[in-house]
Amino acid sequence: MSAAVYAEPYKLPAGALALAVHAAFFALLYFGISWRAEPPQGMVVDIWDSLPEMKNIPAKVTPPEEAQPEPLKPVEPPKPVETQKLAKPAQPAEPHKADIELAEKKKQKAKLDEIKKQMEQKKIIEAEKMRAAQAEQERIRTVQAEQERARAEQAAKAAAAIASEIGKYKELIRSKIRHNIVRPPDVPDNARAEFDVTLLPGGTVLNAKLNRQSGNEAYDAAVERAILKSQPLPLPPDVALFNKFRELHLKFCPEENSCK
């Protein structure tokens, strides 16, 4: 029996299979187990004694000021003044005509005067009526303006509340993401990455797109990872406000205060 008979014909395929088994094993070790040390969640505490500066409030407060419609007021006063002027020149006209000679004429004149007086009184009464009506109108108008102003103020207050809520949650989102950024070494302090983040209801990130590169790819990647890791992002409990959060434009800097 020659040794060749016992030569094992399967050495190569067996070796390849053995290598494949080990490759599979190490791939499992490498990819199957997450070896990263994760910081315990829920240990991050944000203390808010005052709201951080709110960029959005001024923009929201301005419209209510426009909404106060007061140009109507100045129109009212001139009218009553005019009517008084018309009424006054009519009164001094009577004594001049009483001096004239003839008694008959006097009588007639007196009659005419009386008629004129009556006419005059009627005019005055009418003018007074007019004045009263106008005053009434004016009063109604001022009340309406008052009501309108109150309504506008209320709307402004509500808008301000909403704006502060939005600003608060935007700041919460930013701070949550910032806590998750693992800052890579050698990132300059003035690096600024801007992201367009699309959210789903519930705070899930649908899409985080790098809008402006910081110049440091490692930092861009770190911020993107942090955004994805921060899911679900904090959203206001009021579902109606979600539309303000659907598209967010967020800026991140290594130093907290260098970009807001």
Partner 1 sequence: MNVTQDLSFLHLLENASVLVQLVMGLLLLVSLMSWWYIFIKMFAVRMAVKQSEEFEETFWNNPDLVKLYQSSNVASGNAGSMARIFAAGFAEFIKLKKKHGMENSAVMEGTSRAMRATYQREMDNLESHLSFLATVGSVSPYVGLFGTVWGIMNAFRGLSNVGQATLAHVAPGIAEALVATAMGLFAAIPAVVAYNRYAHDVGRLSSRFESFMEEFSNVLQRQS
Site of interaction with partner 1 (CB under 8 A): 1-2, 5-6, 8-11, 13-15, 17-19, 21-22, 25, 29-30, 33, 35-37
For residue 6, the minimal CB distance to partner 1 (Å) is: 5
Identity of the residue, 34 or 257, whose beta carbon is nearer to partner 1 in the bound complex: 34
For residue 43, the minimal CB distance to partner 1 (Å) is: 14
Question: Rounded to 5 degrees, what are φ and ψ at 251?
Answer: -115, 140
Contacts of residue 232, Cβ cutoff 8 Å, sequence gap at least 6? 202, 203, 204
CB atoms closer than 10 angstroms to residue 172: 17
Beta bridge partners of 248: 197
Tell me if 250 sits within 8 A of 178, measured CB to CB: no
For residue 14, the minimal CB distance to partner 1 (Å) is: 3
Identity of the residue, 22 or 79, whose beta carbon is nearer to partner 1 in the bound complex: 22
Identity of the residue, 19 or 86, whose beta carbon is nearer to partner 1 in the bound complex: 19
- Report the SS3 class of residue 123: helix
Identity of the residue, 28 or 158, whose beta carbon is nearer to partner 1 in the bound complex: 28
CA–CA separation, 199 and 181 (whole Å): 19
Identity of the residue, 37 or 240, whose beta carbon is nearer to partner 1 in the bound complex: 37
DSSP 13-28: HHHHHHHHHHHHHHHI
For residue 37, the minimal CB distance to partner 1 (Å) is: 6
Pick left, alpha or beta for residue 186 (phi over 0 → left; psi -120 to 50 → alpha; otherwise beta). Answer: left
For residue 258, the minimal CB distance to partner 1 (Å) is: 25
